[in-house]
Every structure is written in structure tokens, then in C-alpha cells.
Amino acid sequence: MQLQFGKRALDLSLPKVMGVLNRTPDSFSDGGAFIDFDSALRHAEQMAREGAAIIDIGGESTRPGAQAVSVEQELERVIPLIERLAPEIDIPISVDTSKPEVMRAAVAVGAGMINDIYALRQPVALEAACDCDVPMVLMHMQGEPRTMQKSPHYDNVVAEVKQFLEERVRVCEAAGILHTNILIDPGFGFGKTLEHNLELLRRLRELTTLGLPVVVGLSRKSSIGTLLGGLPADQRLHGSVAAAVVAVMNGANIVRAHDVKPTVEVLKVAAAVCGGEC
């Protein structure tokens, strides 16, 4: 399995790390550390040196209760950064957005991927993504960020997440998005209880039957904190890398993570155990 970013190919026979860069003042995981342009730039460069295969840049926090951000503000946060970084790092940049204007502008200045937690369900996002013609991550979410953790409910979480993703893949392909440009993500923590997240992680392999690369984001999420007796986000590294190992052993191809170096290291060990066949 591989992804094509223009002339650049990313081989997914070994698991890869997508480094997270939040240019936001209010993300739960890093709380505004990279709102400053130069700090953001340096952090992206560092993640690239540490072995990230992709850098995911976002300008809107999706944590429950976070402030909504206007198109203009989101553009201001991510576009200059992508424009500056794209020519200087030799790995693709992903834009973490649900807004069609941001997708188009980001790809125009060099972003090579779209990561949309709404799986292109926002008005005209599908058309924008189709025109962009880059790999895109379709993520499952039940509800919307503001309220999704109120009372998530499933009869069968794995079947329902899989069915949703299958349907989004079908809609995206019908709109003209290439099969080879689609990645899927169960959306850990997005309208899911701890038990839902654990079941999805335990049975992640079932999503691989769609024949598409599987992306997971578990890094510093609240389920990890809960399992560790309520540890805050800045103390969830060990829990996060443990979850990353389980995810790749269960078929994940790309792990979205804040702590790139430790994640790259644990995945190298996991991949060696799997003999290139995780």
C-alpha cells in the first residue's frame, strides 16, 4: 500500500507517523504553545527531523467547548505557515480543516493532503476536496465537537463506524474523488466513550477490509488519561505510545501523534516484530 503526493510516494508497508501542529490558542493537548508563527515553524521542522512522514497543521480546536473560528481567522493561522513550510521540508503537509475555503487555499500554497474530521460533510467541502485532488482522511464522528461527548450511543460501535466510513467513501468516489486518494479513520474520542474507544482499538483490524489506509489519532486523548487514573494531557505520553503500538499491531498505517520521536521509535520496534506485515 502506498500514497501518492504529486511526484512523491509514501510507502505504507511500514507504519508512519503524522505529527500534529495546532496553531490554536485552545487545544487541549498543547494549549496554545504554537500560536506564535516562529514557534510553529520550528516545531514543524523538529517533527520532520524526528521522523514524521506527514505534518498535520490545524487552525481550529475541536475540543468540546472550544471557540468556533471564522474562515478568515483559520486562513490567517494556517496559510502563511503552510506557504513557508511546504518548500522547505521534504515531507507532505496535511491541512486539518473542515472548511472548503481553507482546503482550497492550503492546497494552493503547497499542502499535499486534507484531514477532515467531518469527512467532507460540511457544505461544498466535497467539491473543494475533489478539485484539490490530494489524499484525504475521512474521519468518523458521532454528533459535533461541541456536544459529541454528552451521551454517545451505539448498538455496535465497530459496525456503525465501519458503515459510516463505507458510505462516506462511496459518496466521495461518486463525487469524483479517487479511491487511491482516500484514507479512513475511526475518530477515537469523537462521540465515543472509553468503552467505545477500547472496542474500536481492539477490533481495528475489521476496518482494514475496506482496503484503504487506516489513520488513527489516540495521542494524549482523554481515554488515555482516564485509564491512567485521570492524568492530565501533558502526562499521557506513555499511554499514548502504548495505544499507538496496539493500533499498528491491529492494522493502522498512519498514527497521528503530538510526540513524534517517541512514537517513531515505538513503531519501529512494533514493525520489526511484525516483520513488515503489521
* 43 is a site residue for ligand 8Y7 (CB under 6 A): no
* 241 is a site residue for ligand 8Y7 (CB under 6 A): no
* 118 is a site residue for ligand 8Y7 (CB under 6 A): no
Binding part of the chain for ligand 8Y7, among 38-46, 81-89, 181-189, 198-206 by CB under 6 A, reads: 181-189
Size of interface with ligand 8Y7, in residues (CB under 6 A) = 16
Nearest alpha-carbon partner for 23 in 9, 39, 12, 7: 39
Nearest alpha-carbon partner for 214 in 187, 176, 239: 187
Closest to ligand 8Y7 by CB, 139 or 237: 139
Closest to ligand 8Y7 by CB, 220 or 276: 220
* 141 is a site residue for ligand 8Y7 (CB under 6 A): no
Q: What's the min distance (Å) between Cβ of 244 and ligand 8Y7? A: 12
Q: What's the min distance (Å) between Cβ of 189 and ligand 8Y7? A: 7
**Which residues are known to be catalytic?**
221, 256
Positions in the binding site for ligand 8Y7 (CB under 6 A): 20, 29, 58, 62, 96, 115, 117, 137, 139, 185, 187-188, 215, 217, 221, 256
